[in-house]
C-alpha cells in the first residue's frame, strides 16, 4: 500500500469532523436566511476524505433513497464534482434539498461507522456542497440518450413526491404535466419550511432544471375546482397523486379554540407567503412580535415554529415536550439551533389545558411527567406526576403535533380507496408499485404513508414512477 493510500485510509484520525460555519445566533434571530455557510472546495474535499469506505456502508442502507454515499464522497474528495452530482441524482431527485433539511443525525450520519468514536462524516453538508457547486458549474441532467414515448402523465401536487415522480418519468421518456394549487412549485418545501433552513432560490433553481428536462408546470390550478379531476384523468395516460397531509392533529385539551391558538402549518405558510409577498389565501399572516409564545410538540415542525417566532420578535418563546430531549422525534441539530437562538425548552412536561380569559389565551396549564413502560410503538410512555401541575404564561400557543390525511372529496367518485385514517391505499409491493384501486391512478408520499420525511416521500415517489412506466408499457 502506498503512503498516499495509508494516509487516506486513516484521514478520520488526523482530521476532526467539521460542520459548515454558522452565522452568529444574534444575527440569525433577525433574519430569514440560511444559517449555514456552504463548504468551500477545500473544506468539502477534506471532509469527504474522512470516509473510510466501509465494506458494508451503513450510511447508504439507512438512507431512505439508498444514496451511493461512499462513492460520491470519494468523487468529492478528488474534486470530481460533476461526476459526484451525476451519481447523487441516480438515487435522489432533490439532493440539494435533502442536504439541507434531512435529519442526518437520525439517518446517514447517525449510522456512520465513525459516529461513536471519531464523529460522523458530514454527509449532509457535503451533499449540499456537491449539488450547489455542480449547479453553479452548469451541470444539468443529460437526457440525450432518452427515447421519448407517446405517453403523457399528470402529476397533481408539486411537492417533493410530485417532483421526484416527474424527474424519474422524464428520464424514462414520458411527457409530464405537474399541477399545483400554489403559485410556485415545492409544496411544503416552498411554503412550510422556513427560509432559514431552505431559501426560496434553491427551489427556483430546481424548477429551472426540471423545466429544462421538458417537465411542464400548471400552477395556481386547484384540481377539483378550477380543473376537474375527470378532465385530468381523460387527457392523460396515467395520473400520480402527491397531495401530502395537511390536516392538523389536535391536542384534545380544553381551550384549543381560544383566540391566540394556532396550527403550526397555517402559521408557517402564512409567514412564508408574507415574506414572498404572495397573497395569503387560506393562510393569513400571524405576527407574534412582543408576544409570549408556547409551542407544543417536539418534531422538526415545532422547531420551525419556535425559530420563526424568534425571528418575528416574540418576547419569549417556549417549547413544551412530554418526553425528554433524547426522545424528541426531530433533529437534535435543530434543537441545538433553537437553543442558541434563545428558545426555552421544557422537557417531560405535558399540557393539560389552554387557559383563556374573555376568549383569549393567557396561559397554559401543564403537568410534569416521568417516562414509563414502552407503548405499542416501542417508545416509553410519559406518565403524569401527581402534584406537579403548574402554569406557564402565554399570549399565543402553536400546536405542532403533526398532520393527518387530507383526502379529496372526489376520491370516492373515481374509486380511489382510502384506509380508516384517510390515507390512500397504494402498495409498494404491487406489480405496478403504488398503484391505487383505480388502475390509472398512482399515489405516494405522505398521503399514502402518513406524515413523514421529505426523503421518504422522494423514495416512494421514485418507485411509483417506475410503477407507472411499467403500467404504461404493459
Question: pLDDT tens across 165-219, in order?
Answer: 999 999 999 999 999 999 999 999 999 999 999 999 999 999 999 999 999 999 9
Which band of pLDDT confidence, cut at 50, 70 and 90, is reported for residue 3? very low
Closest CA to 179 of 245, 226, 246: 226
* Average pLDDT for the chain: 95
Task: Identify the weakest region by mean pLDDT among 74-88, 271-285, 441-455.
Answer: 271-285
Percent of the chain with pLDDT over 90: 91
CB 298 within 8 A of CB 323: yes
pLDDT at residue 375, rounded to an integer: 82
E strand intervals along 329-375:
344-347, 349-357, 360-374
Q: Which of 5-19, 241-255, 267-281 shows the lowest mean pLDDT across its residues?
A: 5-19
Specify the domain boundaries for CATH 3.50.50.60 within the chain: 152-245+405-472, 248-403
Residue 48: the pLDDT is 96
More confident call, 248 vs 85: 85
**Given pLDDT bands bounded at 50, 70 and 90, which one contains residue 378?**
confident
pLDDT on residue 9: 61
pLDDT at 271 over 50: yes
Query: Does 152-245+405-472 carry CATH code 3.50.50.60?
Result: yes
Average pLDDT (41-67) is 95
Confidence band of 347 (pLDDT split at 50, 70, 90): very high
The pLDDT tens digits of the residues spanning 279-294 come to: 888 889 999 999 999 9
Q: What pLDDT score does 448 carry?
A: 97
pLDDT score of 7 more than 80: no
Give residues with Cβ within 8 angstroms of 291, minimum separation 6: 314, 315, 395, 396
* Per-residue pLDDT band at 458 (split at 50, 70, 90): very high
Ordered strands of the 261-263 beta sheet = 261-263, 396-399, 292-296, 316-321, 344-347
* Residue 402 neighbours by CB distance under 10 Å: 18
What class, spelled out in words, does domain 248-403 have in CATH?
alpha beta
User: Is 6's pLDDT higher than 70?
Assistant: no
In the chain, CATH 1.10.1060.10 covers 3-136
- Quick one: pLDDT at residue 374? 85
Q: Kindly state the DSSP code that residue 329 receives in the 8-state scheme.
A: S
Dihedral of the CA atoms 94, 96, 97, 102 (nearest 10)? 100
pLDDT bin (cut points 50, 70, 90) of residue 338 is: very high
Asked whether the beta carbons of 152 and 175 are under 8 A apart, the reply is yes
**C-alpha cell recorded at residue 47:** 471532509
pLDDT at 5: 43
Q: What is the dihedral of CA 341, 32, 22, 115, to 10 degrees?
A: 80
Query: Any idea of the CA torsion for 445, 446, 451, 455, to the nearest 10 degrees?
Result: 20
pLDDT greater than 50 at residue 469: yes
Instruction: Find, among 136, 125, 144, the residue nearest to 47 by Cα.
Output: 125
Distance of alpha carbon 374 from alpha carbon 136, whole angstroms: 49
Checking if the pLDDT of 320 tops 90, the result is yes
Q: What is the mean pLDDT of residues 400-425?
A: 95
List pLDDT tens digits, range 73-132.
999 999 999 999 999 999 999 999 999 999 999 999 999 999 999 999 999 999 999 999
For the entire predicted model, the pTM comes to 0.94
d(CA 335, CA 149) in angstroms, rounded, equals 48
* The domain defined by 3-136 carries CATH number 1.10.1060.10: yes
Here the cell at position 55 is 465494506
3-state secondary structure 130-197: HHHHHHHCCCCCCCCCCCCCCCEEEEECCCHHHHHHHHHHHHCCCEEEEEECCCCCCCHHHHCCCCCC
pLDDT in tens, 137-154: 999 999 999 999 999 999
Pairing of strands 175-180, 216-219: parallel
Half-sphere exposure of 78 (CA within 13 A, CB side): 10
| pLDDT over 50 (residue 41) | yes
More confident residue, 277 or 13: 277
* pLDDT value at residue 2: 36
Amino acid at each position: 500500500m502506498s503512503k498516499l493510500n495509508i494516509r487516506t485510509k486513516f484521514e478520520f484520525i488526523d482530521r476532526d469532523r467539521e460542520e459548515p460555519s454558522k452565522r452568529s445566533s444574534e444575527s440569525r434571530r433577525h433574519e430569514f436566511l440560511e444559517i449555514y455557510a456552504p463548504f468551500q472546495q477545500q473544506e468539502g474535499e477534506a471532509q469527504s476524505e474522512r470516509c473510510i469506505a466501509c465494506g458494508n456502508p451503513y450510511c447508504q442502507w439507512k438512507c431512505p433513497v439508498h444514496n451511493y454515499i461512499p462513492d460520491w464522497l470519494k468523487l468529492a474528495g478528488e474534486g470530481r464534482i460533476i461526476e459526484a452530482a451525476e451519481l447523487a441524482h441516480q438515487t435522489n431527485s432533490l439532493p440539494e434539498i435533502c442536504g439541507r433539511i434531512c435529519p442526518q443525525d437520525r439517518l446517514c450520519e447517525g449510522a456512520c461507522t465513525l459516529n461513536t468514536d471519531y464523529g460522523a462524516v458530514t454527509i449532509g453538508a457535503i451533499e449540499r456542497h456537491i449539488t450547489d457547486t455542480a449547479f453553479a458549474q452548469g451541470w444539468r441532467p443529460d437526457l440525450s440518450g432518452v427515447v421519448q414515448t407517446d405517453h403523457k402523465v399528470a402529476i397533481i401536487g408539486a411537492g417533493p413526491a410530485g417532483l421526484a415522480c416527474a424527474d424519474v418519468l422524464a428520464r424514462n421518456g414520458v411527457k409530464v404535466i405537474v399541477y399545483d394549487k400554489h403559485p410556485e412549485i415545492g409544496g411544503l418545501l416552498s411554503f412550510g419550511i422556513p427560509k432559514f433552513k431552505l431559501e426560496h432560490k434553491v427551489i427556483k433553481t430546481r424548477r429551472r432544471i426540471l423545466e429544462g428536462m421538458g417537465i411542464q408546470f400548471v400552477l395556481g390550478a386547484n384540481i377539483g375546482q378550477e380543473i376537474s379531476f375527470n378532465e385530468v384523468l381523460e387527457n392523460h395516460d396515467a395520473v400520480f397523486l402527491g397531495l401530502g397531509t395537511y390536516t392538523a392533529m389536535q391536542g384534545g385539551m380544553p381551550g384549543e379554540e381560544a383566540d391566540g391558538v394556532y396550527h403550526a402549518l397555517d402559521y408557517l405558510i402564512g409567514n412564508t407567503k408574507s415574506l414572498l409577498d404572495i397573497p395569503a389565501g387560506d393562510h393569513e399572516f400571524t405576527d407574534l412580535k412582543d408576544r409570549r409564545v408556547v409551542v407544543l410538540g417536539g418534531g422538526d415542525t415545532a422547531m420551525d415554529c419556535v425559530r420563526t417566532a424568534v425571528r418575528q420578535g416574540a418576547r419569549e418563546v417556549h417549547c413544551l415536550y412530554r418526553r425528554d430531549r433524547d426522545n424528541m422525534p426531530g433533529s437534535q441539530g435543530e434543537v441545538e439551533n433553537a437553543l442558541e437562538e434563545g428558545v426555552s425548552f421544557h422537557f417531560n412536561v405535558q399540557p393539560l389545558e389552554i387557559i383563556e380569559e374573555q376568549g383569549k389565551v393567557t396561559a397554559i396549564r401543564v403537568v410534569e411527567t416521568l417516562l414509563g413502560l414502552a407503548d405499542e410503538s416501542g417508545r416509553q410512555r410519559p406518565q403524569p406526576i401527581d402534584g406537579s401541575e403548574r402554569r406557564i404564561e402565554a399570549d399565543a400557543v402553536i400546536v405542532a403535533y403533526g398532520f393527518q390525511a387530507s383526502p379529496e372529496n372526489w376520491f370516492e367518485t373515481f374509486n380511489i380507496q382510502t384506509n380508516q385514517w384517510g390515507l390512500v391505499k397504494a402498495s409498494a409491493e404491487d406489480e405496478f408499485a403504488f398503484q391505487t384501486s383505480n388502475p390509472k391512478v398512482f399515489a405516494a408520499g405522505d398521503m399514502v404513508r402518513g406524515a413523514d420525511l421529505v426523503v421518504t416521500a422522494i423514495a416512494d415517489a421514485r418507485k411509483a414512477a417506475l410503477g407507472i412506466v411499467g403500467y404504461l408499457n404493459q
